Chain A
Amino acid sequence: MDIKVALVGNPNTGKSTLFNRLTGLNQKIGNFPGITVDKKTGFTKLASGKEAEIIDLPGTYSLYPKSADESIVFQVLADKENDSHPDVIVLIADASNLKRNMLLYSQVADLGIPIILALNMIDLSAKQGIEINLDKLAEKLGIQVVSISARNNIGIDKLKQAIANTNKIATQYQDVDVNFLAPEAINAIKSKLNSDNDYYALQVLHQHEHLTFFTEKEQEEIEHIEQSHHFESSKIQAAETIARYKHLSTILSDVVIDKGTEKKFSFSDKLDAILTHKVWGFAIFLLILFVIFNAIFAWSSYPMDWIETGFGFITSIGHKYLPAGMLSDLLLDGVIAGLGGIFVFIPQIAILFAFISILEDTGYMARVTFMMDKVMSKVGLNGKSVVPMIGGLACAVPSIMAARNIENWKDRMITIMVTPLVSCSARLPVYILIISLIIPSKTVLGVFNLQGLALMVMYLVGIIAAVLVAWVMKFIIKTKERSYFIMELPVYRMPRWKNVFYTMYEKSKTFVFEAGKVIIAISIILWVMASFGPGNRFENIDKKYESALADTTKNTDHIKTLVATEKLENSYVGILGHWIEPAISPLGYDWKIGIGLITSFAAREAFVGTMATIYSVDGGDEDTTTIRERMSASVNNRTGLPVYTFATGISLMLFYAFAMQCMSTVAIVYRETKGWKWPVIQLAYMTAMAYVAALVAYQLLK
Chain B
Amino acid sequence: MKLSHLKVGEKGTIVAFTDLDMSVKLMEMGCLPGEEIEVERFAPLGDPMAIRVAGYQLCLRKSEADVIIIQ
Contact = CB atoms under 8 A, between A and B. Distances in A.
A binds B: yes
A164 B46 CA distance: 52
B58 interface: yes
Contacts of B61: 373, 377, 484-485
A375 interface: yes
B32 A245 contact: yes
A490 B55 CA distance: 11
Contacts of B30: 99-100
Contact of B57 (A66, A241, A279, A488): A488
A484 B25 contact: yes
A237 B24 contact: yes
A678 interface: no
Interface residues of B, number: 32
B51 to A, nearest CB: 10
Given A99-B30, A486-B64, A489-B50, A370 B55 contact: no
Tell me if A's interface is mostly helix, strand, loop or mixed: helix
Contact of A371 (B20, B24, B44, B58): B44
Interface string A261-284: 100010011001100111101100
B44 A282 contact: yes
Contact of B29 (A100, A261, A281): A100
A278 B46 CA distance: 9
A99 B55 contact: yes
Nearest to A98: B55
B60 A265 contact: no
A482 B33 CA distance: 23
Given A97-B56, A488-B29, A234 B45 contact: no
Interface in A253-303: 258, 261, 265, 268-269, 272-273, 276-279, 281-282
A370 B43 contact: yes
A241 B26 CA distance: 10
Given A64-B24, A66-B25, A375-B45, A484 B57 contact: no
B43 to A, nearest CB: 5
B58 A370 contact: no
Nearest to A66: B25
Contacts of B21: 234, 482
B25 A374 contact: no
Interface string A48-70: 00000000000001101010000
A403 B25 CA distance: 20
A314 interface: no
Given A245-B32, A374-B45, A374-B46, A484 B54 contact: no
Interface string B27-66: 1111011000000110111111010101111111100100
B20 A276 contact: no
Contacts of B26: 486
A489 B44 contact: no
B7 to A, nearest CB: 16
B8 to A, nearest CB: 11
Contact of A485 (B23, B32, B57, B60): B60
B56 A100 contact: yes
B64 A265 contact: no
A377 B63 CA distance: 12
Given A99-B30, A103-B28, A238 B23 contact: yes
14 contacts: A99-B55, A238-B24, A241-B27, A242-B27, A258-B55, A272-B41, A276-B43, A276-B50, A370-B50, A374-B46, A486-B29, A487-B59, A488-B59, A489-B56
Q: 7 tightest CB-CB pairs across the interface, nearest first? A: A489-B57, A374-B45, A100-B30, A278-B44, A241-B27, A62-B28, A486-B60
